[in-house]
Structure 1
Amino acid sequence: MADVRVVHSVDRRLGGKRLADLVTAAVAGEKPGYRALAQAVRTLLLDGRVPLHTRLPAERELASALGVSRATVTAAYDLLRDSGFAASRRGASTWTELPEGRRPTNVAAYPPGPAGGAGGVGDGMLDLAVAAPAAPAAELSEAVAAAAALLPAHAATAGYHPYGIPELRAAVAERFTRRGLPTLPDQILITTGAQQAISLVLALLGRPGDRVLVENPSYPNALDAIRRAGLRAMPVPVTDAGWDTALVESTLRQAAPRIAYLVPDFQNPTGALMGREQRVRILETARATGTWLLIDETIADIALDVPPPAPFASLAPHGVAEQVLTVGSLSKSHWGGLRIGWVRAGSRLITELAMARIPADMATPVLEQLVALHLMGGMDEVLRARLPQLRAARDALAAALTRQLPEWRWQLPPGGLSLWVDLGAPVASSLARAALGHGVRIEGGSRFGADPGTHEHRLRIPFTLAPDLYEEAAARLAAALAAGLDPAGGADPRHDDWVA
């Protein structure tokens, strides 16, 4: 295992000036003593701002950048090694590590139960691990009836549409066009949810060992897809202040990743919204490095306090548009049970993606596509009703947390479906395990980390339940915290882990 970690550390190196800037910000501009320096590095590691298995700068280099003695850095590195947050080998450099006890086991997920739209998962359990709303019941019923009326015309055919039925491809293309990105139907591939779209793109464009730039934290299922494809994640942090564009650009230039997976619109889980200038700079850098940009717009429609953002690809200068692939779905705007997603890309790439899907999944079911076609026609009306409900739920969650857990902190996001809550201590996985016994299913922040064990002081708390449930949810979390946490506790082995 030690040899493997050395290999990982070579791939990532943190320069002395960069670490000094991060440490200085963490200790409020003062020159740190060795304990403060070690604590700052630990905090940066757990917060995901310094990736796991990153080679730390040489002691002399960091001492010079910080303006402290080399003995101070030596003592700090020794303290990090003694506490398990760093490792080294004779003749090799020092790299970031996590002690074994800080590698949390993911919380077990309870399978969905009959409580359905109320937000529970059976037996009074409140589900805060799934950031997706219940279906708009009336609109869904109407869409199912409309689809049934259209089905006989399709039943006379074989029913296989690897690209998607033409009507739905045209509807998705037309929505992109109305949002500011002219799109033709042959630039759209209909998929079985956005997750399939992401997996298809990774499989087609990536090869085992290729680098993929990812945000840290990020959407867990996308990170899992990257790992399963044998790709190497190159994390860049997303903090409460959003993206460090200069760091994204430098990572693109220095690592030359094959693909960059980004969620610029109400990022999951932080809720951050990437600015226009940041998008333009990333597009220009990607053109120089030849990196494919895989843009996840699944949550782009959930704009609560700002106008809906234009598609990321609409800002692409000439010659870069073909490098941008956009994925989306109806899961967050309508219902996750309707497994309809899509990819927007160049028509040639769409053909390659369609051919790549056939060995595993020949086509998305026609009936579901017909339901989606009807829902797409009334999407603006659904959003006009849904966004105020989500805004009310967000405010109810924030108010309940303020009353029940006043020491927790968060930024109120301008859109999206969840709060990214700072607990003030690295206890998220222990709290998530304890919360199961108090009737709450939730995932610790490490589930969203590009490196295991990071974001242990965070919880993602969705606001997709009914507003009147959040006072009870917050009270249960407070009770779990007050009852005491077992840092060595394991996940419930009876259930499989999943999050959405």
Structure 2
Amino acid sequence: MPVASPTVLRQLSPATTARLLGTWHAGGPAYIALADALRAAVLSGTLAPHTRLPSERELAATLNVSRTTTSGAYARLRELGFAVSRVGSGTVTTLPQRAIEPGPLHRPAGGDAPLSADPLRGGTHAGAPAAVGHLDLWQATPPAPPELHGAFARALDGLPAYLDSGGYEPYGLTPLREAIAARYRERGVPTTAGEILVTTGAQQAIALLARTHLRPGERAVVESPTYFHAMEAMRDAGGRVVGVPAGPLDVDQLASTVRRARPRLVYLVPDYQNPTGFVLSAEERAAVREIADRHGVTVVGDETLVELGLSDERTPPPFAGDGTSPHVVSVGSASKAFWGGLRVGWVRAHPQVIAQLARARQSVDIATAVLEQLAVTELLGRRAEVMAGRRQMLRERRDVLVGRLQEAFPWDVPVPQGGLFCWVDLGLPVAQAFAAAAAAEGVRVGGGPMFTPDNAGATSRVRLTFTRSPAELSDAVPRLVRAWGRVAGRQRPAGSRA
């Protein structure tokens, strides 16, 4: 059956493609390295499906490679299901229905080089190491806690009280808003239910804040590096994203940037920053609040990771301080603390901001699902018990990944004190090439540049999450060793003991 012509939603220029790819050649045939880099960009989300790629000729000229290289790369993408070419549409990126499909190991007759299953399709190519299945060190989503089932059972018991209503609560269910406000008060921030808006996940909260605070061409300031999808939301709203150094945050440069750029919005991750893992000190938080009030700029503190401290160190006071600044907004979520399948987030802000956001969300989804809100209310009521188990699980998985990486590589692998990921320094500016090589080995990792506003910084860094099982984390490391051998120009990294 012929493949339908793809819908083209956007077009990538040759220059933008080159910037996105960065240092992409991981050794071996150039066309395979280029295809792997483009495929890794699709898998990581930096290159969206339904994007028209530059012509083979234009991309070859920009990358200073032969037309044969780009032609071969595009052909390989089509073979693997990551691109479709049609007359009039050019070559357009797609995402296969089954992006990962293990296949058998083969050896060609009369040859020594193995033919192995392509870990991203099930096809084979010569000289690649075998990889069975797909290991995801990109997505930061832990499995559900054992208490989740009971929380939904109790939520079902409470559901009849809402069945006589229409089921729409634009601000969120009152019991959940009260529970969220109580958690802020417990942390030292006086808060009422009137200062809480329940959203369908923290991502919707960030997108609503971007839509209501940014007009096309206006600036938004973020840390660099930072959470990739937050930058996406700001660009979707028409904002121009400006970065200030993070890991740690340069507060003086933030103040200078706000003064000169006059942004409408500032977005920060104060606790276990994504991806660096840094935590803003009490003094830095106070300085940020002072910047917000002095310049009248809305500063969003993304606190989705605040419950995930993995050390005995006390977390600094809440980002909102005493909660009185009208310019400081906090975003939270049940997804990281409890489970990603709970699409429940929230905003804590001045009641006028809450009302503005509630009006804006009406064109998106009107209200968040009732049963999920009731389940999160139950989980918040048992937060201490649930989170004790969650933290223990994450410590064990962090220690497995960090220990294996430190044994196998000459990299700088810090031990994160909280959050869900390691921000690893490779020691060489090859982050994107390594992400592409890892994808070819069946492991998804986040190359550092994708976390920066210009997609050009953090070229020696990769983000590796530790939310998978210990067995999966251990299985990923030998594959990463093979990928590193390709990128670093040797089969095993110096000092490797894997």
Would the TM-score normalized by the shorter structure come out above 0.5? yes
Counterpart amino acid of residue 312 in structure 1 = F
* CA-CA distance at 1:436 after TM superposition: 2.2
Q: Does 1:314 align with 2:326?
A: no
Residue 395 of structure 1 corresponds to 399
Query: 5+ residue gaps in structure 1?
Result: 6-98, 487-500
Counterpart amino acid of residue 363 in structure 2 = P
Residue 257 of structure 1 corresponds to 263
Q: Distance in 1 between matches of 2:238 and 2:364?
A: 18
Residue 11 of structure 2 corresponds to none
Deviates more, 1:225-234 or 1:432-441: 432-441
The answer on whether the counterparts of 2:333 and 2:345 sit within 8 Å (CA) in structure 1 is yes
Residue 378 of structure 2 corresponds to 374
Residue 294 of structure 1 corresponds to 300
The answer on whether the counterparts of 2:188 and 2:318 sit within 8 Å (CA) in structure 1 is yes
User: What aligned pairs does 1:264-303 form with structure 2 within 5 A after superposition?
Assistant: 264-303=270-309
The answer on whether the counterparts of 1:111 and 1:121 sit within 8 Å (CA) in structure 2 is no
CA 1:144–1:121 in 2, change beyond 3 Å: closer, same or farther? farther
Residues 285-327 of structure 1 deviation map (CA, whole Å, 9 limit, x = unaligned): 22111110111000011111122443211256x6xx1111111
Residue 489 of structure 1 corresponds to none
The answer on whether the counterparts of 1:429 and 1:446 sit within 8 Å (CA) in structure 2 is yes
Query: 5+ residue gaps in structure 2?
Result: 1-14, 16-61, 66-76, 83-92, 102-118, 122-131, 490-498
Counterpart amino acid of residue 314 in structure 1 = G
* Correspondence for 2:150 among 142, 164, 188: 142
Counterpart amino acid of residue 160 in structure 1 = Y
Residues 250-290 of structure 1 deviation map (CA, whole Å, 9 limit, x = unaligned): 11222221111000111000000011111111211221111
The answer on whether the counterparts of 1:444 and 1:460 sit within 8 Å (CA) in structure 2 is yes
CA 1:412–1:101 in 2, change beyond 3 Å: closer, same or farther? farther
Counterpart amino acid of residue 335 in structure 2 = S
Q: Distance in 1 between matches of 2:420 and 2:96?
A: 21
* Correspondence for 2:478 among 468, 475, 478: 475
Residue 467 of structure 2 corresponds to 464
Q: Distance in 2 between matches of 1:310 and 1:135?
A: 28
SS at match of 1:293: strand
The percentage of aligned residue pairs carrying the same residue is: 42
The answer on whether the counterparts of 1:197 and 1:342 sit within 8 Å (CA) in structure 2 is yes
Residue 42 of structure 1 corresponds to none
Q: Does 1:128 align with 2:137?
A: yes
Give the length in aligned residue pairs: 376
Q: Distance in 2 between matches of 1:275 and 1:162?
A: 35
* CA-CA distance at 1:153 after TM superposition: 1.5
SS at match of 1:243: coil
* CA-CA distance at 1:169 after TM superposition: 0.7
Q: Per residue, is there more helix in 1 or in 2?
A: 1
Residue 452 of structure 1 corresponds to 455
Q: Distance in 1 between matches of 2:135 and 2:432?
A: 17
Q: Distance in 2 between matches of 1:109 and 1:139?
A: 34
CA 1:278–1:112 in 2, change beyond 3 Å: closer, same or farther? farther
Q: Does 1:326 align with 2:303?
A: no
Residue 182 of structure 1 corresponds to 190
Deviates more, 1:431-440 or 1:220-229: 431-440
Residues 315-365 of structure 1 deviation map (CA, whole Å, 9 limit, x = unaligned): 56x6xx111111110111111111000001111211111111111211101
Root-mean-square deviation (Å): 2.7
SS at match of 2:326: helix
Residues 9-30 of structure 1 deviation map (CA, whole Å, 9 limit, x = unaligned): xxxxxxxxxxxxxxxxxxxxxx
Counterpart amino acid of residue 259 in structure 1 = L
Give TM-score, length-normalised by structure 1: 0.71
User: What aligned pairs does 1:408-487 form with structure 2 within 5 A after superposition?
Assistant: 408-484=411-487
* CA-CA distance at 1:484 after TM superposition: 4.6
User: What aligned pairs does 1:160-171 form with structure 2 within 5 A after superposition?
Assistant: 160-171=168-179
CA 1:188–1:379 in 2, change beyond 3 Å: closer, same or farther? same
The answer on whether the counterparts of 1:445 and 1:457 sit within 8 Å (CA) in structure 2 is yes
The answer on whether the counterparts of 2:177 and 2:198 sit within 8 Å (CA) in structure 1 is yes
